[in-house]
Each structure stands twice: as structure tokens, then as C-alpha cells.
Amino acid sequence: MNWGNWVISGFIATLALSTLLAMSQGLRLTRMNVPYMLGTIITPEREKARVYGFLAHFVNGWFFSFFYVYIFQIRHTANWWFGLLIGLGHALFVLTVVTTLIPSLHPRMASEQKGATTQRRLEPPGFMALNYGYQTPLSVFVAHAAFGAILGSLYQLR
């Protein structure tokens, strides 16, 4: 492992991922707001949740970049298209598995089965996060593909 290179390339890729997701929200492609969703695990206060969630998402992105790099090392391949492929797989996992599980794991998210309660009142994402807008899958695929591509092109194998 090229640890120093991972730290820097993971940081840059996470920065790009966060920017792209925020952009797609600002451009009204999706209402998915990952920092807000993560932050509300910690606090119900909107402004605080956004800050905590942003930090959590950033650390999360960095953490995930480790797995990308690990795959690069195992396959002895690190380039933009290989990173992009992993990113697409990652996005598919998020959209299908994570979005299905998150209403059960998130302490403040409502579920379609139980409805909203005093404690759980955040709108669930639904399959492929389509509840947050029909273009949500597109923005998630693009952001994660960019994340993988940047990581693949910046990371240097050792």
C-alpha cells in the first residue's frame, strides 16, 4: 500500500464526491442530502445535523477509498476506468442495498411499513432512492463513478 498517496488521493476523490452530490442537489436533480441524512442520526437539529453529517460523510468517503485502493493493489491495476467501474458498483450497492436497509438502521427515519412516529419522521429513500426524485440514481452513479475515476487516476501502485 502506498499510504501517503492513498491519504491524498482519497481526500481529493471524497472532495469531488461531496461537491458533485451537493451540486446535483443545488441543480434540483435530487433531494437526497447525504450530510443531512447522516447528521440526523446524531441530532434532530437541522443546522447541526448538516455540519455533523458533512464531517461524517467526508470521513466515510475517505474510509471507503481505502477499499478502492485495496482492490487496486490486489488487481495490480489503478487507472481511471477501473476506478470508475468500482464506483459504479459502489453506487449500485448504495442504491439497492443501503437505501433498503437505512430505514431500519437510521433512528430518525420513517418506514413505509410503520409510517412516521414521534421519533422517526425523515422521509425514507425508497428503492433506488427514487423517493428523492427520479434523477437521484443518475446523480448517485455519476458522483460515485467520478469518485472511483479520480481515485484510480491519482493513486499510484507500489
Partner 1 sequence: MDLTTTPARNPGVGYRGCGYFPGIDEYGVIGDCRTAALVSKFGCIEWLCWPRFDSPSIFAAMLDRERGGYWKISPTGEYEAERRYAGNSNVLETRFRTGSGEAVLTDLMPIRDAEMSSMVPDHEILREITCTSGAMEIEIALVPRANYGEYPVAICNKGKLGIRMVDGPGVFWLRSNLPLRIEDSGVFAATTLQQGQTLSFSFSYSLSSPAVLPPLEQIPQRIKICVDWWERWVGQIQYDGEFREEIIRSALTLKLMIFAPSGAIVAAPTTSLPERIGGDLNWDYRFCWLRDASFTIRALLELGFWNEATGFLDWMLHATRLTQPELRIMYTVYGNAPPDEHTSKILRGYKGSSPVRIGNAARDQVQLDVYGEVIDAAAQYAFHGGYLDREMQKVLIGFGNYVVKHWDTPDQGIWEPRTSPRHHTHSRLLCWTALDRLVALTEQDKLKGAPLQDYKDQEEAIRRQIQERAWNQELQSYVSELDGQQLDSSLLLLSWYGFEKADGPRMRSTYNRLRERLSTAEGLLYRTEQVPAEGTFAICSFWEAEYLALGGGSTADARNLILTLLKYRNELGLYGEEIDARNGRALGNFPQAFTHIGFIGAALSLDQREKGEQQLAHRPESPVGEQPHQKQAA
Helix (H, G, I), strand (E, B) or coil at 79: coil
DSSP β-bridge partners for residue 111: 115
HSE at residue 132, side-chain half, CA atoms within 13 A, is 26
HSE at residue 107, side-chain half, CA atoms within 13 A, is 6
Nearest approach in angstroms of CB 44 to partner 1 is 4
Stretch that binds partner 1, among 25-33, 63-71, 80-88, 144-152 (CB under 8 A): 25-33
Residue 74 binds partner 1, judged by CB under 8 A: no
Number of residues that bind partner 1 (CB under 8 A): 32
Backbone angles phi, psi at 27, to 5 degrees: -85, 5
Nearest approach in angstroms of CB 103 to partner 1 is 10
Of 85 and 130, nearer to partner 1 (C-beta) is 130
Q: Are 41 and 57 in contact (CB under 8 A)?
A: no
Of 49 and 154, nearer to partner 1 (C-beta) is 49
Stretch that binds partner 1, among 13-21, 54-62, 82-90, 107-115 (CB under 8 A): 107-115
